[in-house]
Amino acid sequence: MEKIVNSYETLFVIDADLTEEETKALVEKFQGLIADNGEVTEVNEWGKRKLAYPINDKTEGYYVLVNFKSESTLPLELERIFGITEGILRSIVIRHEEKKAEA
């Protein structure tokens, strides 16, 4: 049976109070996790930005956007790991819909 591969993007916000090394380690951890279970197509580190509202009394976060392709099981595992990782303030994983050709 052929494996179904979908396109996804994930945006996660890292606690801005972490050191530069700790932030880089978290970015590499998730990039590596995605690469081991799929294909990373693009990584955009937006850097430190002001949060729309305070999260755990924090007003700034380090934003990272990763586009990737994988099977449907990876996003669930990714969300689980985001949830238990110290230093991750918020995260979201979105599946891109296939664009239909117009007749």
Domain with 85 in it: what CATH number? 3.30.70.60
> Mean pLDDT across the stretch 35-62?
94
Where in the sequence is the domain holding 45, given as residue range(s)?
Answer: 6-95
Q: Is residue 101 one of the residues assigned to a domain?
A: no
pLDDT band at 97 (very low <50, low <70, confident <90, very high): confident
Q: What is the pLDDT of residue 3?
A: 75
Structure tokens at 5: 């591969």
The pTM of this model reads: 0.88
Whether the pLDDT of residue 100 is over 70: the answer is: no
Q: What is the pLDDT of residue 65?
A: 96
Q: Is residue 81 one of the residues assigned to a domain?
A: yes
Whether the pLDDT of residue 101 is over 70: the answer is: no
Q: Is residue 103 one of the residues assigned to a domain?
A: no
Q: Is residue 48 one of the residues assigned to a domain?
A: yes
Q: What is the mean pLDDT of the chain?
A: 91
Given CA atoms 101, 75, 3, 29 in this order, what sign does their dihedral have? positive
Contact 69, 4 (CB under 8 A): no
Q: What is the pLDDT of residue 95?
A: 94
Q: Is residue 25 one of the residues assigned to a domain?
A: yes
Whether the pLDDT of residue 4 is over 90: the answer is: no
Q: Is residue 83 one of the residues assigned to a domain?
A: yes
Q: What is the pLDDT of residue 96?
A: 87
Enumerate residues 6+ apart whose C-beta is below 8 A from 7: 41, 67, 68, 69, 95, 96
What is the count of structural domains for the chain?
Answer: 1
